[in-house]
Chain A
Amino acid sequence: MPKSLALDPKKMKEAEAALRTQAAKLLSEGTVTVFLGHEEGWDGLPVPFFATTPEEAKRLVWNPLVAFNLAKYLLDRLTGEEKVGIVVNGCGSLALDRLLKDRRFPRERLFVVGIPCTGLLDPDKVLALPDEARQAALEGGKAEPGLFLKRCGWCDAPNPVVADVVLGEKVPEEAGPQQYPRVEEIEKMSPAERAAHFKTLYEKCIRCFACRNVCPACSCRECSLDQWEPLWLGKATVPSEQLMYHFIRAFDVAGRCIRCGECERVCSVGVPLMELNDKLMKDITELFGVQRPHVPADVEPLGQWTEGDADLEAAH
């Protein structure tokens, strides 16, 4: 866990004020026509919100619960010429950079407000806390490591990697090799154990596609999983199709997953979706020597071929 993981609600409050001012300015000056952020939802949890007037910008929030990764909403705005404002923290900026590197949204149509991040809390866990503990966490910043989003535990990019303006001070970064403890456990299983593990892994999946729809690396114009002809993915929720779905999903984002873990967070039935994503990232590190496979780069191992590439057959 990065040492910088320490919630500072006061600083976030300051950032929130600065964010509202900044967004209102962008909207009133006409720099952007819409600003993508969060507002307080019905039950107090932040929900994605798209401000279109300086007045609406006052509703923007920035607090320890702004878990939702906003970049994916850019795909709803592909047509048109208007400029879009968006607020991102570290992982939010990786999602944004993913779409930029995949050439799914033009950089020139974006105005990015970056806010360095010292960690976010898991909204579901915070909502389940007794009132007093919830207040202590949200206002006093007193939060056990277990209350943070899973992704904060392995985050090595707390500062926005894409931003036109940064609100707040830079957070110290500690980029070391990523750890994949769960993958290591699975790799140690015998083939029979592993087969049993995978057999039950996706049993619970209700095929709601929330994991795919929230993923910033899943940005195909038409998803193969939605095609009728050919019907790559059968409509029946039977074990073979469940595996097909999850394998296609994981392999299609291989080399492009930013390790934000949103897929797992939005899964209502608790499928551990990051297991396969992590396995593929670990493979990329081992086969291609890329230390931070979740960070978008101009040249990525699975997006190119060189003579020195690992011989996959020899490697396995």
Chain B
Amino acid sequence: MAQSPVPKATRLVKKAGLGAWLTALAADNNVMAPVTVDGKPLFRWIGAGEVGQLDLAAVHTVNSPKGGVMPQTEPMLTYSAVQDGSGGKTLDIKPAAEDRPAVLFGVRPCDAAAIDLVGKVYLTGEFTDEQYQARRDRTTVVAIACAAPAKACFCTSFDLSPGAVRGADVVLYGRSGPGSVAEGDAYYAIAYTERGEAFLGGAAAKAAGVSDLPAGEADKLEKIVAAFRGLATPLGKKLGKVDVADKLESLFESAYWEKVSSRCLSCATCTFVCPTCYCFGVADTGAGGQGVRFRYWDFCKSPQFMLMAGGHDPRPAKKNRTRQRFLHKLNYHHNRCGEYLCVGCGRCVESCPVGLHLPLVVSDVRGLQP
């Protein structure tokens, strides 16, 4: 476990003040928050008029908030053909317009960690994805600790917990501690980054009545935060620490992949609800000499994902594609970055129509003969 993160500022916010906070934030920021639509909890961009739909009850929204930093469809540039003065044409290319600053509010610790985890792919190594960098630089992540982890939660199978801080600028901890879905009438709002500190001191926070901690409550706060961080997760208990990276080295040719992939529907449910799946494709749309180049979420379970011009497909079968997805998360990324590409949010467990998910594969792989 990493060292305990050091708070930069600690405040108290009443539950009743959250609406005012979001409303004030929405004036200058794009705000993404969990809302319930037709009975399904979803992370969505909300305007000031939709603040009333905020719903922090569900541990899992169906989708993760990854769209906040990696929009499913994101314009990269616009182009237009213009006369160059000598009878010919040149291409005028402009970068995509920048969005307003963004606040991702009510993000669960697993999802916040996922933003940091995936960020390493975009921001470290030989190349930096400038567009991603710019988006991250104008995004504030306000996480909320989980008082009652869901049945499919297994963040504790990695170096995370229902009260983890990774990837968050601010974390809200229910004042009455974990253990019940009702988190009391107020949250401790703790900033762990400079951005978070400024956020808690900003005008919007004032509008929400964010106040200093009552005298003498520091000890209680410490205990409560520790309780959140010590909380077990149901599936995490069953699964234990994920430990299969080395073993997978020798299992590339295992018959297991054929077997487990046979029921895969080749849909994108697992990929698109996953907070750590980040692959994208690039396409153009336009007509009449002008258009937009954009990137969009792509998915490795698709038979089109690796299809080459000319028809060759390096991953022609479900076996190849399923193996790719799980080896990427459990071996390749671990080899490159020293950690698994999974935060144990449990969405694949909840959403896969045929029960083919990461904890199952981890558990199966442990039983395989190398």
Seen from chain A, the residues whose Cβ lies within 8 Å of a Cβ on chain B are 41-43, 45, 47-50, 68, 73, 76, 204, 206-210, 212-214, 226, 228, 231, 234-238, 265-266, 268-270
Contacts and interface: CB of A to CB of B under 8 A. Distances in A.
B272 interface: yes
Interface string B260-295: 001101111101110000000101010000000010
A52 B349 CA distance: 26
Nearest to A265: B353
Given A42-B360, A209-B268, A47 B283 contact: no
Interface of A is mostly: loop
Interface in B308-322: 318
Nearest to A41: B355
A270 B40 contact: yes
21 contacts: A42-B360, A43-B349, A45-B355, A47-B356, A49-B263, A68-B354, A204-B38, A206-B63, A206-B272, A207-B268, A209-B268, A210-B269, A214-B265, A231-B283, A235-B283, A237-B73, A265-B353, A266-B265, A266-B269, A268-B351, A270-B38
A238 B42 CA distance: 18
Contacts of A43: 349, 355
B62 interface: yes
Contacts of B363: 42
B131 interface: no
B359 interface: yes
B351 to A, nearest CB: 4
Contacts of B273: 206, 268
B262 A269 contact: no
Interface residues of B, number: 39
B88 to A, nearest CB: 28
Shortest 7 CB-CB contacts between residues of A and residues of B:
A210-B267, A266-B353, A41-B355, A208-B268, A47-B355, A48-B263, A268-B351
Contacts, number: 98
Interface of B: 37-40, 42, 62-63, 72-73, 262-263, 265-269, 271-273, 281, 283, 285, 294, 296, 299, 302-304, 318, 349, 351, 353-357, 359-360, 363
Contacts of A231: 283
Given A210-B353, A270-B62, 16 more contacts: A42-B363, A43-B355, A50-B263, A73-B262, A76-B318, A207-B272, A208-B268, A209-B302, A210-B267, A210-B268, A236-B283, A236-B294, A268-B269, A268-B351, A269-B63, A270-B40
Contacts of A206: 63, 72, 268, 272-273
Contact of B40 (A49, A209, A265, A269): A269
